C-alpha cells in the first residue's frame, strides 16, 4: 500500500457518504470497517477542517520519551543479557515492553515500532 492509498480511500468514502450511501455500503466498497466509515461520517459532519486536521490511526501506545527509553534499553548490554545467548526476538521484545511500560504489543506492532526506532529484533 502506498502512502497515498489510505488518503484516496478516505476521499472516496467521503464522496460516497456525501452522495447518500450508507456507512455499511461505504465500508464494503472502500474495504474498511464500519467503525472507520462511521468515523469518516462524523468527521464530515464536523466540517472540512476536522476531516483534514484530525489525527488518523490508532494513537501510539508509547510516548516519544518512552520510545527513547526503549531504544536505550534495547541498546543497553544489560537488557540483552536478560535473554539467552543475547538473542532478542520479537516475542522477547514484546515481553520487555510489557514489563517496562505495561503495554502489550502484537508481533506486527512491535516489528513496526522497531522499524520506527531504526532497530531490528
Q: What is the pLDDT of residues 90-112, one digit of tens each?
A: 888 899 999 999 999 888 888 88
Count up the domains in the chain and report the number.
Answer: 2
Q: Give the residue ranges of the chain where pLDDT is below 50.
A: none
User: Both 45 and 72 in a single domain?
Assistant: no
What count of other Cβ atoms lies within 10 Å of the Cβ of residue 75? 11
Structural domain range at position 21: 4-53
Quick check: 86 and 93 in contact, CB under 8 A?
A: no
pLDDT at 16: 93
pLDDT at 85: 60
User: Both 44 and 78 in a single domain?
Assistant: no
Which pTM value belongs to this model? 0.49
User: Both 71 and 106 in a single domain?
Assistant: yes
Kindly give, in sequence order, each residue whose CB lies less than 8 Å from that of residue 18, ignoring residues fewer than 6 positions away: 44
DSSP letter for 105, please.
-
User: Both 44 and 77 in a single domain?
Assistant: no
User: Both 16 and 49 in a single domain?
Assistant: yes
Residue 70 lies in a domain: yes
Q: What's the CA gap between 37 and 23, in Å, rounded?
A: 5
User: Both 69 and 48 in a single domain?
Assistant: no
Amino acid at each position: 500500500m502506498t502512502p497515498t492509498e489510505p488518503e484516496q480511500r478516505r476521499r472516496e468514502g467521503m464522496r460516497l457518504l456525501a452522495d447518500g450511501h450508507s456507512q455499511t455500503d461505504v465500508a464494503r466498497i472502500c474495504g474498511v470497517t464500519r467503525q472507520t466509515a462511521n468515523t469518516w461520517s462524523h468527521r464530515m459532519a464536523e466540517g472540512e477542517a476536522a476531516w483534514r486536521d484530525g489525527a488518523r490511526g490508532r494513537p501510539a501506545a508509547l510516548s516519544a520519551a518512552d520510545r527513547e527509553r526503549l531504544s536505550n534499553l534495547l541498546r543497553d548490554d544489560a537488557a540483552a543479557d536478560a535473554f539467552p545467548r543475547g538473542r532478542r526476538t520479537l516475542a522477547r521484545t514484546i515481553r520487555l515492553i510489557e514489563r517496562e511500560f505495561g503495554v502489550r504489543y502484537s508481533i506486527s506492532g512491535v516489528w513496526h515500532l522497531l522499524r520506527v526506532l531504526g532497530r531490528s529484533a
